A and B are shown apart, each in its own frame.
Chain A
Amino acid sequence: MNRFKKLSSIVLTTVLAMSVLSGCGQTGNTANTSDRKVKLKLGIWPEATMTSEITLHEGYKAKLEDKDKDVEVVPSYYKYTTETFVPMAEAGNLPTIFETWYTEPQKLIKGGYVADITDILKKRGWDEAINPSIKKLLSDGNGRIYGIPRDGYALGVMANVKLFKDAGLVDADGRPIVPKTWDELAKTAQTIKQKTGSAGLCLLAKDAAGGWHFSNIAWAFGATLTTQEADGKYKSHVDSKEAIEAMNYVKDLKWKYDVLTADPTNEDWGTGFSNLGTGAAAMYIAANDAVEQPTENNGLPVEDLAIFAMPAGPNGAQYSLSGGTPYMFSKDATEAEINAALDYLELMGKAPVATEDSIAGMEADAKRKVETGIPVIKRFPAWVNKEVLDAEAKVLKDNKNVDDKLYASYFDAIDKQGNLRVEEPGSAQDLYSELTKVIQAVITDKNADVTALMKQANVNYQKILDEKVNK
């Protein structure tokens, strides 16, 4: 009896272990087996808490399944994170379509995780409709395209109108008097801090986003941070006179004007919006595609948000860093699945077509924004075909919920020839990391030697360029 007990416990334990192991070996991609339908695993499905958006998407889902009887839309909400992406991709568990960050496309293309959709886009004529500068960010060196833009963005400065009013910085019509140069911005920020107690500007210094914003400031001071030489190799210019001047300006924001939040080294993209939305900071470098952040997510009334153009530097140079938030597609997705995903985007009004359905999608999205207190403003032109732009303009006009003049200088600036600049070439994320380190040093140490720090950052970044891209 005793022996039987022993034996049975051994057998059971072994079976348990084997079942655990066999469970790990499952390959996961079980789509397309239950029936012959094309299963569109939709990673862009809204997360469970966003009920109003889910209702909207249920409408799109029903419409697509009704239109194309072969397609079954499977909501597979996936929020891109760097920790989960590679395991999911390697296990073949990525949804057909997913949204990623503007920093990621080149990395994903290089790693072979995303599908080449050039031919599919060509068949639809969409390849020519993508804004060329955004298309470049989503293509490899051979011009093959791997993603399409959800939205484009161009950096500007978001402002909390109430704080401007409290500081008395408003014109006769009660609109904020926004700074046009970086020097004016520092002084405006100082007035706000003195009169309201809130920080004038939220500067980011926790992660690479700090360097990302700084690169735009440096351009205004006349700097170009990386160049590609005649031999094709990239060269760092982080220690140029202009870049050092820009970094000195950042240092002054802390030590001369004292207009920053208490701890910029703890501020990242998300906390910037919290500071702006809750009135802890009056200004924040941000783009038009993130207007729901201060408003819907952080409670700023829709009429209290303004965006103005990136300020100009001492010599009048003025640029807006632009890019795009992309949709990308699993490397394992079939052509039919990718086409179904593109059809779905059409219904959402996120595609370069102005059909009845896509316009209805734009309308529904705009109405949701009005209901939830998000500014309905122009999108950055991620698509360049006229019929879409016209349709968008009409939807905006019909659903207007903000004072256009609060956004006028921003849109005027990005419409100007030569204003938009894409990220620095080379290895932009590493450049940003190096710059962020310098920003951290200059805002935590009053006696920091900016020139020496920038020279060190230049050496570091050049090393990374030589190791990663110049080889």
Chain B
Amino acid sequence: MRKVETNDLQICATPEITVKKKKVLKRKDLIGWAIMLPTLILFSFFIWEPLLENIKLSLYQANGIRLVKFVGLDNYFTVFAHPDFWAALKNTFSYIGWSLVIGFFAPILAAILISETIHFKGLFRVGIYFPNIMPGLATVIMWGFLFKPGGTGTLNILLGKIGVDPQLWLTNPGWTIPLIVMSMTWKSAGATALIYLAGISSINPELYEAATIDGASVLQRIRYITLPKLFSLGKTMFILQIIAVFQILYEPMVMTNGGPNNASISIMQLVYNFAFKDYNFPVAAALSVIVCIILAVLSVLYFKLTSNKEG
């Protein structure tokens, strides 16, 4: 809005008026900056400065967090040489893959279903958001009980009622990541669905009316109106999901502690192990920087690949 005003002024105003207006704008700017100042200070103190410190720490040898000696990229080589690094990296991408399969479409589907619902819409909206209210640790502990192997696990007890043998659940290395992703999706899909619902409600209803008059079925309306209109939002949610899942930590840590045999260890758990098990903060910092670079590259790549489809 302000940009438009400035352009207009530059084109139309006489020099005298421009100077006057510019002064006014400067004062406005000043007030704007002053309002932003506390946030900027807090951001620099709590986000940007630690970020830069982290990069610096990753290039040093340290006692705790007290820098001792500049070692260049040694800490990065230590990360690459660690036996758990490649397993953790592979698993992290596996988490992302499964989260896209299980967790990306679920909220879109839920949002569309709720938007098409006529009765009890509010109830469904609250219902789907409900798991999000639960504290994260409580959620994973609850799912831990459900997935407990042997005769005392909740799911196994239920399966036993219909004559199915007890399953290994999380202790089956092939199932561990999908099951963890399932519990994550259960918790967070509702919040994402609300964002999609907001997106759907901002679509011009005239489009639907026109489509209905033209005889479009529900599926056709979704296919030709809802989904294309949600594309831009979906694109943002897609990359946000990748960024969030890349930093998965407490779910595998609590449910499986990264096991069995590294089947579910994530990159962030490795960062945690370096920092808090070994007190090797420089190596933890190096791995954090690696994560940051990977995510930045993925984000740029993704937006480049999809930029021409902006809808």
Contacts and interface: CB of A to CB of B under 8 A. Distances in A.
Interface of A: 6, 10, 13-14, 16-18, 20-21, 24, 82-83, 86, 89-90, 107, 110-113, 205-207, 261-263, 265-266, 429, 434, 436-438, 440-441, 443-445, 453, 459-460, 463-464, 467
A89 B173 contact: no
B259 A206 contact: yes
B149 interface: yes
Instruction: Give the contact-size bracket for chain B.
Output: 35 or more
A107 B259 contact: no
A86 B64 contact: yes
B161 interface: no
Given A86-B65, A265-B171, A460-B83, A111 B279 contact: yes
30 contacts: A10-B35, A10-B37, A16-B38, A17-B37, A82-B279, A86-B65, A86-B279, A86-B281, A90-B64, A111-B64, A113-B64, A205-B259, A207-B257, A262-B148, A262-B151, A263-B149, A263-B171, A265-B260, A266-B144, A429-B277, A434-B83, A438-B261, A440-B259, A444-B172, A444-B173, A444-B261, A453-B261, A459-B83, A464-B83, A467-B78
A266 B152 CA distance: 13
B170 to A, nearest CB: 8
Given A10-B34, A464-B83, A17 B259 contact: no
B89 to A, nearest CB: 16
Contact of A90 (B65, B82, B171, B257): B65
A441 B258 CA distance: 12
A375 B63 CA distance: 42
Contacts of A10: 31, 34-35, 37
Interface string B210-246: 0000000000000000000000000000000000000
Contact of B152 (A83, A262, A265, A444): A262
Interface of B: 31, 34-35, 37-38, 41-42, 45, 63-66, 78, 81-83, 144, 148-153, 168, 170-173, 256-257, 259-262, 276-279, 281
Contacts of A24: 45
Contacts of A463: 81-83
Contact of B42 (A6, A20, A205, A467): A20
A82 B83 contact: no
Given A438-B261, A444-B172, A467 B81 contact: yes
Contact of A17 (B42, B81, B276): B42
Contact of A14 (B31, B38, B168, B279): B38
A112 B42 contact: no
Given A90-B66, A444-B172, 11 more contacts: A10-B37, A24-B45, A82-B279, A90-B64, A107-B279, A112-B64, A262-B150, A262-B152, A262-B153, A441-B261, A467-B78
A453 to B, nearest CB: 8
A93 to B, nearest CB: 14
B287 to A, nearest CB: 14
A444 B171 contact: yes
Contacts of A113: 64
B257 A206 contact: yes
A340 B276 CA distance: 30
A354 to B, nearest CB: 37
Q: Sort A-B residue pairs by CB-CB distance and give the 5 closest, nearest first.
A: A262-B150, A460-B83, A440-B260, A17-B38, A441-B261
Nearest to B87: A437
Contacts of A86: 64-65, 279, 281
A206 B148 CA distance: 13
Given A20-B42, A82-B276, A262 B261 contact: no
B178 to A, nearest CB: 16
A261 B151 CA distance: 10
A444 B260 contact: yes
A49 to B, nearest CB: 21
B271 to A, nearest CB: 13
Nearest to A15: B38
A86, A110, A429, A438: most-surrounded residue (chain B CB, <10 A): A86
B142 to A, nearest CB: 14
Contacts of B279: 82, 86, 107, 111
A402 B279 CA distance: 42
Nearest to A456: B83
A464 B82 contact: yes
B283 to A, nearest CB: 10
Contacts of A440: 259-261
Contacts of B261: 437-438, 440-441, 444, 453
B259 A21 contact: no
A292 to B, nearest CB: 25
Given A82-B277, A440-B260, A445 B173 contact: yes
A266 B45 contact: no
Contact of A111 (B63, B83, B144, B153): B63
